[in-house]
Amino acid sequence: MADANPFQDPQRFERRVPPCALVIFGANGDLTKRKLVPSLYRLAIERRLPQGFAIVGTSRTPMSDEAFRQKMEAAVREHLENSHFDDAIWDEFARGLFYVAGDLASPDLYTTLTARLADVAQQRQTGGNILFYLSTQPSQYSTVARGLAPLARPNGGWRRLVVEKPFGHDDRSARELETALHEHFTEDQLYRIDHYLGKETVQNILAFRFGNPIFEPLWNRQYIDHVQITAAESIGVEGRGAYYQEAGALRDMIQNHLLQVLATIAMEPSAVFEPGAVRDERAKLLRSIRPFRPADVATHAVPGQYGPAAIGGKDIPGFRAEPGVDPQAMTDTYAAVTFLIDNWRWAGVPFYVRSGKRMPKRVTDIAIRFRPVPHSLFSSESARPNLLILRIQPEEGISLRFSSKQPGSGMKLRPVSMDFNYGTSFGMRTPTAYETLLVDAMAGDPTLYTRQDMVEASWAAVQPILDVWANHPPPGPFPNYPAGTWGPTAADDMLAARGHVWRVP
């Protein structure tokens, strides 16, 4: 499609955003204060917001525009990362901040909001373009979508709706949510945010795979032995005990973030780098994940829950002793799953995915282990298989491990590493996932957003595990791993059954 703006220069200018208003539901909440408004302010610093950009915050708390501005200024000052707070930019940014108080279930809120948005469109020349952002409890999504029904079909401009995860609690509730949202918004108006896909390093997987032809011939069952995806957190539930107890690691991390990462690692190249094409390939991969039969679950999935431990001289409570958590909770604070992908490229290659809280360190990475040499010329101990590690966080980068001759007489091999480090190679600040994703939504690019068929395919992959875990308590008693360790021994046994071991990230 030809660009209607002849003044663009894509080689030099960042992606442009058309004039618009962003309406945040849940504007008094944590996400708004910690992520959304600081990210938008960062975009303002980098001149990436359109002229007249406006934010209309809504929540139940009565507040004037001015009070909202002051609250957001305090939030930005507290949560702005790697940037200096600039008063002049804030003043300009704050002129576009407005606030509407009301109950999400009350039609009055939407009447007031409609009038306010008309004023804002006039005052800020937003052209009637509106991005709605649901930063509320998931249980309120359908209520808000219903309330926005009259606003969802514009006379002029565009309307889009951003929805935060979780997209349902299971496959059934995900479909119910879809029905509720689709009643008022079409699929191309819906932007389901998975902030993992907005991370630079996750996007870099696509660049690495499809921009470097030397790896593609190796990227299949013939050369890859198995893949390990790890998302470990060293912290516990940090005050989110009540929420987390209902979610668990499988729902909170694997069903969404890590399956999206898996899909990015394993998808086929799309013909073009366009939203529909890329998302089609991701969806196709997710649909290729082999569904578990109930009998398979015990051998392919391991739940875990951390117990108390002393780490570095400090006593760490077990999950059941965390505030807001039921002392008998059966929540999985750790989950490890062996996924198999039924297609020609990946048949027989296990994808081990694990995520847990209170692990020894915070790390997210993907390790691709290549097959060993077919016949070793050297001692079997020294010739280790190649390992490609894509580090998502921290120390984002890529490492390739291979064997090298140790200097000296004889032929002793030692593993060495070739490292690419994002920070040192580019030496500049990378945008946060929310900056990337907010610009994409305003610019109408859903490439990094999840589509309904992807959501359903992800639920289909984990639902049998959830069903079995809900109906059959785990074989060993919870807790089954002490805080500060790499998870339950049953997870090691799961890999050992295939002759593999978890690497230590």
Cis omega (within 30 of 0) for bond into 6: no
CB of 169 vs another protein, minimal distance in Å: 37
Closest by CA to 197, choosing from 278, 100, 289, 264, is: 264
Specify the residue, 81 or 315, whose C-beta has the smaller distance to another protein.
Answer: 81
Return the DSSP state at 119.
H
Specify the residue, 204 or 338, whose C-beta has the smaller distance to another protein.
Answer: 204
The Cα–Cα gap between 485 and 361 comes to: 9
- Give residues in contact with another protein (CB under 8 A): 4-9, 11-13, 16-19, 45, 47, 50-52, 82, 86, 88-89, 92, 123-125, 127, 419, 421, 423-429
Encoding tokens for residue 404? 């090298």
CB of 44 vs another protein, minimal distance in Å: 9
Does the annotation mark 257 as catalytic?
Answer: yes
Q: Which residue has the tokens 């190679």?
A: 425
- Tell how strand 190-193 and strand 159-164 pair up: parallel
CB of 428 vs another protein, minimal distance in Å: 5
The Cα–Cα gap between 194 and 181 comes to: 17
Is the distance from CB of 110 to CB of 151 less than 8 angstroms? yes
CB of 203 vs another protein, minimal distance in Å: 18
Specify the residue, 13 or 243, whose C-beta has the smaller distance to another protein.
Answer: 13
Beta carbons within 10 angstroms of residue 244's beta carbon: 23
What is the signed CA dihedral for 470, 472, 476, 480, rounded to 10 degrees? -10
The Cα–Cα gap between 463 and 94 comes to: 45
CB of 171 vs another protein, minimal distance in Å: 40
Specify the residue, 92 or 187, whose C-beta has the smaller distance to another protein.
Answer: 92
Return the DSSP state at 100.
E
Beta carbons within 10 angstroms of residue 100's beta carbon: 21
The Cα–Cα gap between 193 and 165 comes to: 7
Is the distance from CB of 128 to CB of 79 less than 8 angstroms? no
Specify the residue, 107 or 394, whose C-beta has the smaller distance to another protein.
Answer: 394
CB of 442 vs another protein, minimal distance in Å: 10
The Cα–Cα gap between 150 and 168 comes to: 25
Catalytic hit among 257, 300, 472, 500 = 257
Specify the residue, 312 or 427, whose C-beta has the smaller distance to another protein.
Answer: 427
Residue 265 amino acid letter: I
The Cα–Cα gap between 252 and 260 comes to: 13
Specify the residue, 20 or 448, whose C-beta has the smaller distance to another protein.
Answer: 20
Q: Cα separations (Å) of 411 from 372, 377, 403, 404, 478? A: 18, 10, 11, 10, 49
CB of 116 vs another protein, minimal distance in Å: 17
What are the catalytic residues? Answer: 257
